[in-house]
A and B are shown apart, each in its own frame.
Chain A
C-alpha cells in the first residue's frame, strides 16, 4: 500500500491527466553489431539524443531529471514558503530549459536479457569468441558520462518508461524532491546503485575477468565480470547485491556483459526506482581515448518497456585531479532525515553528533567500557596485566 501524502492536484497532474506521449522514437541500430560503423563516442551519444519541443501542457514542466533535483536541492521550496508563496506558485516557476532528451526505449528487438545475450552470443560465433590476445588496453583513469542516469532525459520521457505499478513510487520521489526532502543513497552513505555508479573508473583486464573500480567520492564501488565461461553463481546460493553479478564474453575487442541479481534500489535525482528483477546487457568497446558502452536494461516489474542507456568513459590525463583513494562516508557523516522526512544535519553540540574530528574513536569506546564497569553496568573485570603481569 503506497502512502499517499502528496497533494491531490499533483497526483492528478501526474497520473490522471498525462498525455500518452511516446517515450522516444526508435533509434536505428544494427542489432547484431551496433558498433559496426561507429567512429567516436560523440557520434554514439548523438545517436540517442533527441530533440523535443517544449510542451506547454507537460505536467513535468519540460524539466529534465537533472533539472528536477538541481533546481530544488537547495531547499528552494522552503525559501519560497517562507516568502509566502503557495506550492502552486512555486511549481509554476519551475520550467525546464532543455529542448533535448534521450531515446529511452531499447532499439533492440529482444524482450529479456537472456534473449539479448543469446542473440549476441550466437552472432559472435565460436570463431569470434574467446579472450582476445592481447587483451585490449583499458589502462589509465577514465571519467564517466551517461545520459539517462545522469538526468539528461526529460522527466516526461522517464515517466512513460515506468510501469503503472511503479508510477506512484516515482511520483512520490519527484514530489519529495520538489519539497526539498531529497533522499539520495549517499546522503546516509549507502551505495548509489546501478543508476548512478562510476564517477571515476579504472579497469583491470585479466585472462578470466575484468575488474571495474570506481574510486571517486563519496564511495568506492567495485564490479567483477567473469568472461571465462564459468557462468553465473547458481540459484540457491546467488543473492542480490548493489551491482549484481556479471558474466561476459568477448566478440573481438568488444566485451559483452550480462548483469543480474541486482538489489532493487532508488537513486533519487529525478530518477525512478528499479526492481530486483532488473537485468542488464552491456557492450563495451574502446575507440581512441574513449570506451563506449551500450546498455540495455530489462526490468519487467518497474519499466513499461526495455530501456536503453549509453555510457562514455573518457581517458583523462593522469594527476589532473587528486588521486582517487579509498573513500568512505560513514566516519564524517552527520546528515540524517528528521522526523518530518526533511534532510538535516547535526551540529557538534547535539548528543547524536558523530565526532568526525576524533582520530582515535576506538579509544573513546574503550573508555566508555571502563566507565561502565566503574558504574556497575558491566561485570567487574580487572586488567589482565594485574593477573599476569607482562614481562
Chain B
C-alpha cells in the first residue's frame, strides 16, 4: 500500500479519532476524577443558598438545609467549570445568596455533606424546564 492509499484508508480513522476527541472535550477539562461521587445514587437537597463561588475549575454552591432529624446541615455542591455552566444556562447571576433552591446531586461516597450536581430542580420556586443538567426557568 503506498502512502496515498494508506492515507485514504486512514482518513476514516482520523475522523473517528477527532470525533472522539471533540465528544470528550468536556471531559478533558475535568481537573479531578469523579470517583469520589456515588453516581449510582442521587440525593435532592431543599435549602437556602449560603454561598456561591462562580469560578474555575468548578462552580460551587453552599446550601443550608435541615436534615430529617432536625439538625442543620450545610451541603457543598460541586458544579462544572464556567464554560460548561454558561452552556447549560447557569450564568454568574443565575444563583444568588439567599435564594431558595432545590438541587439534586450524586453524593460523596465518604458520607460527607457534598456532591456533584446532576440537576437544578428549582430556584426561588421557579421550576427547571430543561432536561438533564441544563437550567432553563419554566415559563
Contact = CB atoms under 8 A, between A and B. Distances in A.
A332 B55 contact: yes
A75 interface: yes
Contacts of B35: 72-75, 78, 180-182, 342-343
Interface in A216-248: 216-218
Contacts of A349: 73-74, 112-113
A199 B31 contact: no
Interface residues of B, number: 52
Given A332-B60, A347-B108, A186 B55 contact: no
Contact of B112 (A66, A99, A322, A347): A347
Given A47-B7, A186-B57, A344 B110 contact: yes
B126 interface: no
A12 interface: no
B31 A348 contact: no
A72 B30 CA distance: 14
A75 B21 contact: no
Contact of A75 (B34, B83, B113, B114): B34
A329 B57 contact: yes
A32 interface: no
A243 to B, nearest CB: 18
B31 A329 contact: yes
Contact of A348 (B3, B28, B56, B62): B62
Interface in B1-36: 3, 7, 9-11, 13-14, 16-18, 20-21, 24, 27-36
A218 B31 contact: yes
Interface in A32-89: 42-43, 45-47, 49-51, 66, 69-70, 72-75, 78-79, 82
A180 B33 contact: yes
Interface string A204-216: 0000000000001
Interface in B35-57: 35-40, 50-53, 55-57
Interface string B67-81: 000000111101001
Contact of A187 (B14, B27, B32, B86): B32
A293 to B, nearest CB: 16
A383 interface: no
Nearest to B39: A74
A345 interface: yes
Nearest to B92: A322
A145 B18 contact: yes
B58 interface: yes
A66 B40 CA distance: 23
Given A152-B20, A332-B57, A346 B14 contact: no
A217 B27 contact: no
A23 interface: no
Nearest to B52: A357
Interface string A119-149: 0000000000000000000000000010100
B103 interface: no
A10 interface: no
A100 B24 CA distance: 16
Given A79-B40, A180-B33, A348-B75, A46 B7 contact: yes
Pick from B35, B52, B53 the residue with the most CB of A within 10 Å.
Answer: B35
B130 interface: no
A189 B32 CA distance: 9
Contacts of A70: 24, 27
B14 A343 contact: no
Contact of B3 (A28, A45, A350): A28
B30 to A, nearest CB: 7
Contacts of A51: 9-10, 13
A334 interface: yes
A343 B112 contact: no
